[in-house]
Amino acid sequence: MDETLFYVFGITLVVSALAVSAIGLRFESFPGTRAVLVAIVVYFAGMVAATTTFAVLNAADAQHTREAEQARESPTTTEANATTTTASQGKSTTLKLAADPNAIAYDTQQLSGKGGKVMIEFTNPSAVTHDVCITSPSGQEIGCSQTISEDSTSLSEDLKPGKYTFFCSVDGHEAAGMKGTLTIE
Ligand SMILES: [Cu+2]
């Protein structure tokens, strides 16, 4: 709303009041007729109404401006909360895998988890060294754990849904059967 209009109406009202007073003082017969009196009353009522209306609209406008400013600030807060929520809900799956203590084998050939951060906790109780590697659905090697014996380690990867392969990269072990399917849903 244009504040100038508010001031124009206000000033016009004051000037009009002064003018009518001056005329009224100069001419004792003023207001001479009922028609003139009615016209003056209507004129002042209109000016007062217009001034009041602009005052109210200006106040409402200022209120909208404040609300708009608050609205601009609040999305930042919402985003911050959303980030925190996402972080606290961050999908993380921990899978356990162990090597057979007496054979070239894992204790399972099937692992499954949900998309997101997937950690495989790998335990090798055997004196024979083993590790665990992951191959993507398209056949690309994603990563391997440390090669260990009589120890435990872990492998952590961000995985999208799909069928992955896990295997031991120690020579001949995959061929001997140290492999399986990692299903990410
Ligand atoms: Cu192995």
Neighbours of 178 (CB within 10 A): 24
pLDDT tens track for 50-91: 555 445 545 655 555 455 454 444 443 333 333 333 343 467
Neighbours of 180 (CB within 10 A): 19
Establish whether the linkage from the previous residue to 137 is cis, with ω within 30° of 0. no
Each domain of the chain, given as residue ranges in start order, spans 3-89, 92-184
Residue 116 has pLDDT above 60, yes or no: yes
Could you tell me the pTM of the whole model? 0.53
Predicted local distance difference test score (pLDDT) of residue 118:
97
Please state which architecture CATH assigns to domain 92-184: Sandwich (2.60)
Query: What integer is the mean pLDDT of 11-30?
Result: 56
Ligand 1 centroid – CA 109 distance (Å) = 13
Ligand 1 centroid – CA 92 distance (Å) = 26
Ligand 1 centroid – CA 155 distance (Å) = 15
Query: What integer is the mean pLDDT of 129-155?
Result: 98
Ligand 1 centroid – CA 173 distance (Å) = 5
Q: What rounded mean pLDDT belongs to the chain? A: 75
Q: How far apart are CA 147 and CA 131, in angstroms?
A: 4
Ligand 1 centroid – CA 143 distance (Å) = 15
Q: What is the DSSP letter of 106?
A: B
